[in-house]
Structures are given as structure tokens and as C-alpha cells.
Amino acid sequence: MRPTWTRLPDLASRAVGGSVVWADDELFAERENLIAHAEPEFRPRTFGHKGQVYDGWETRRRREPGDDRAIVRLGLPGVIRGVVVDTAFFKGNHPPFATVEATRATGYPSPAELSGWEVVVPRSPLGGDRKHYFDVSARRRHTHVRLTIHPDGGVARLRVFGEPVPDPDLLVPGAVDLAALENGASVTGCSDMFFGSPNNLIAPGRAAVMGDGWETARRRDDGNDWVEIRLAAPGEVRLAELDTSHFKGNAPGWAAVRGSDARVDPDTWFDVLPRTRLQPDTRHRFRVSGREITHARLDIYPDGGMARLRLIGALTPDGEAELVRRHRRLSD
Ligand SMILES: NC(=O)NC(NC(N)=O)C(=O)[O-]
């Protein structure tokens, strides 16, 4: 019988925005497979450059003491109720033991900056080619989990079931995305669109792959890339979302958002979000307290790609009236 907590959402799944942000080794099979939504598959006698292809995370055979580790940032931070370590198809190369730890971080730390790990599944024996169900009795919200395999081997999936606990600071009541294409915003200029159109930045929904985002060529000068957006209508931004999902080796190092009010002076730009460090493959959300703006400019430093930019806020009464007038004028 599967434990009842398997009916809860998988907080780690890629389907809800989880990311395997780090692993000490992934020679045989890529760490990203650990949180794939689909059940693992196997095709026998499929050999790539490094060996048999597995649908999981697989490290090389250790020739020195130590253990292998992977860190997952939960797509939905929350209270963990149970963990599944699935060694599907790993037989003869599964790890004999695993430990799972969890921690809670604020902001967007790099994997090396994470600390305060607590054991949620103590070192436990694993068998090959099977699902292992571990009850977890956590009493607080976690944002990251760390899987340690003792000493090495392959794990097909890590599923982290629990109850999501959102950060209320990131919930903006009654707000709209002032920068969304579907709300009438548009791109008015950009420095470069070599690999991907800036229209993608403000497209509906989440990006499914890297190609769904805006991406510039590698810069070989001292400048930086940027995009300018005319908002759907004048408004005050309360939350800026800068989503680098899928950009792992080519996310910008930093970004800034500036705003201008073309009704007053189109050439005066002020900070909405000052220059801020970014992480790869991360949906960053920052509370900002905005002035009224009609245009926004995203600067990325120095170059790279971004999946989405969302500028969530409130239309001004003027902004609302402008949208109504435009709709009427163009619907008659
Ligand atoms: N036949 C294997 O699976 N061998 C090795 N693994 C891969 N992926 O080839 C190994 O040593 O664990």
C-alpha cells in the first residue's frame, strides 16, 4: 500500500518549477532526471559516449572515500510529509544507502551558500530497481532538499511530497501583470535578439524549454543587453518576477529593472529593481514599491537569456480608463 502522503503534490517536481541546482558528479546520467515528472523509462543496450543511458542521476564509481550529493530547490516550498527514492532500472549500480536532508533559505542563494541542513530521512538501506517510501515528520517549511547517496550509483527519481506554504509577501492581491503581452504590453526595443525574441519574455504561461525565452548572443565587449517594454497601461509595479528557467549556463549574472513615465518625461529612468544578482534556472520574485510608470527597461549583465519578465502591480485609474477607451475604440 502506498502511503497516503503520496496523494499530496510532489514539491520537487520539475512540473511545479523544481530544479536540481547542484550535484558533485553526474558522469553517467544527468542530475535533472531526478525530478522529471514522467515515470522513469529504460531501453536496454543503449550506449552513449559515457556508457549505458539511464533515465536518472548516476555518478561514477568512486575510487576514493566519500559520498555523492545532489541539491534540489523545491518548486513549491512547503512542509515535507514523505520522500520517495526510486532506483527504477538501477540494478548492480544502485546506491546501497541514502540520506535526505532539507533546509529553508530566504532569497536566492547559490548552492554553496545554503546551510542549516536537517536530516529528514536518516541514512537508510536501498535496494535496486524499486521505490522506497520514507515518512517524514517535519514541523517547518523547507525550500531545498539534499540527497546523499552512500557511496555512489544511480537514482531514477526523488519525489518530495508535502503541503505547499507560499511566502505571503509574494502574493499581491488584485494585481495584474502590467508587462504581459496578453494585457496589451509590447516590446519597444532591445539590444540583441540573436537566439530568441524578446516577445517571448512577456508571453503567457511558463517557458517549457530554453527556446521559449529571450536570448542574446555572447557579448565580446564591455556593454550589456537590455529590452524596453511599453506597459499595458500606466501602473505601479509591486512585484518584479525575473525568471531564468532553463538558462543554466547562460543566465545573466545580474539584472536591473528601471521605469519611466512617458506622460511626464520619457527620458528620465528610475530604479524599480536595482541591479541584483541572479541564479541560473530560477524564478526570482522581488517585492518592489513602485512609482507610476508607463515603460520599463530590463538590463541584463552582461548578456544571456531570460524566460519571462513579469511586472505585477496595479493599474492607475488613468491606466484603467485608457484600457477601456482603447478597447471600445478598436471594438466598434
Ligand atoms: N552497465 C552499466 O550500467 N555500467 C555503468 N553505468 C552506466 N551508466 O554505464 C556502471 O558502472 O554503473
CB within 8 Å of 13: residues ≥ 6 apart: 35, 37, 75, 159
Query: How many A from CA of 93 to the centre of ligand 1?
Result: 7
Give the residues across from 102 on adjacent strands: 118, 145
Radius of gyration of the chain, Cα coordinates, nearest whole angstrom: 23
Measured distance CA(124)–CA(322) in Å, rounded: 62
Query: How many A from CA of 120 to the centre of ligand 1?
Result: 29
- The predicted complex's ipTM stands at 0.96
Predicted confidence band of residue 184 (pLDDT cuts 50, 70, 90): very high
DSSP type of residue 52: B
For 270, other C-beta atoms within 10 Å of its C-beta total 11
Predicted confidence band of residue 155 (pLDDT cuts 50, 70, 90): very high
CA-based nearest residue to 32, from 61, 63, 73: 73
Predicted confidence band of residue 127 (pLDDT cuts 50, 70, 90): very high
Predicted confidence band of residue 156 (pLDDT cuts 50, 70, 90): very high
CB within 8 Å of 31: residues ≥ 6 apart: 20, 22, 23, 57, 70
Q: Which CATH fold would you assign to the domain 170-326?
A: Jelly Rolls (2.60.120)
Pocket of ligand 1 (CB under 6 A): 28, 51-52, 54, 58, 61, 93
Measured distance CA(211)–CA(203) in Å, rounded: 13
Residue 306 scores a pLDDT above 90: yes
What does the pLDDT average to over 321-330?
95
Residue 332 scores a pLDDT above 90: no
- Superfamily for the 4-164 domain: Galactose-binding domain-like (2.60.120.260)
pLDDT tens across 51-72, in order? 999 999 999 999 999 999 999 9
Query: How many A from CA of 200 to the centre of ligand 1?
Result: 40
Residue 290 scores a pLDDT above 90: no
Start-end of CATH 2.60.120.260 domains in the chain? 4-164, 170-326
Looking from the CA of 169 toward its CB, the CA atoms found within 13 Å total: 10
What does the pLDDT average to over 78-89?
98
Give the global pTM.
Answer: 0.96
How far is it between the farthest Cα atoms of the chain?
75
What does the pLDDT average to over 111-125?
98
pLDDT tens across 133-150, in order? 999 998 999 999 999 999
Query: How many A from CA of 82 to the centre of ligand 1?
Result: 29
Predicted confidence band of residue 1 (pLDDT cuts 50, 70, 90): confident
pLDDT tens across 195-247, in order? 999 999 999 999 999 999 999 999 999 999 999 999 999 999 999 999 999 99
Residue 23 scores a pLDDT above 90: yes
Measured distance CA(294)–CA(257) in Å, rounded: 13
Residue 174 scores a pLDDT above 90: no
% of the chain at pLDDT higher than 90: 98
Q: How many helices (H) and strands (E) does the chain have?
A: 1, 19
Average pLDDT, the chain: 97
**Where does the chain show beta strands of DSSP type E?**
19-23, 57-58, 68-86, 97-103, 118-125, 131-135, 142-150, 154-155, 157-164, 176-177, 186-190, 214-215, 225-243, 254-260, 270-277, 283-287, 292-301, 305-306, 308-315
Query: How many A from CA of 51 to the centre of ligand 1?
Result: 6
What's the CA dihedral at 228, 231, 234, 238 to 10 degrees? Answer: -90
Atom of ligand 1 minimally distant from the CA of 28:
8
* Atom 2 of ligand 1, residue of closest alpha carbon: 52
* Confidence (pLDDT) at 56: 98
| Ligand 1 pocket test target in 47, 93, 149 with most atoms within 8 Å of CB | 93
Q: Are 164 and 187 in contact (CB under 8 A)?
A: no
What does the pLDDT average to over 310-326?
95
pLDDT tens across 237-267, in order? 999 999 999 999 999 999 999 999 999 999 9
CB within 8 Å of 232: residues ≥ 6 apart: 176, 177, 178, 179, 180, 183, 184, 185, 315, 319, 323
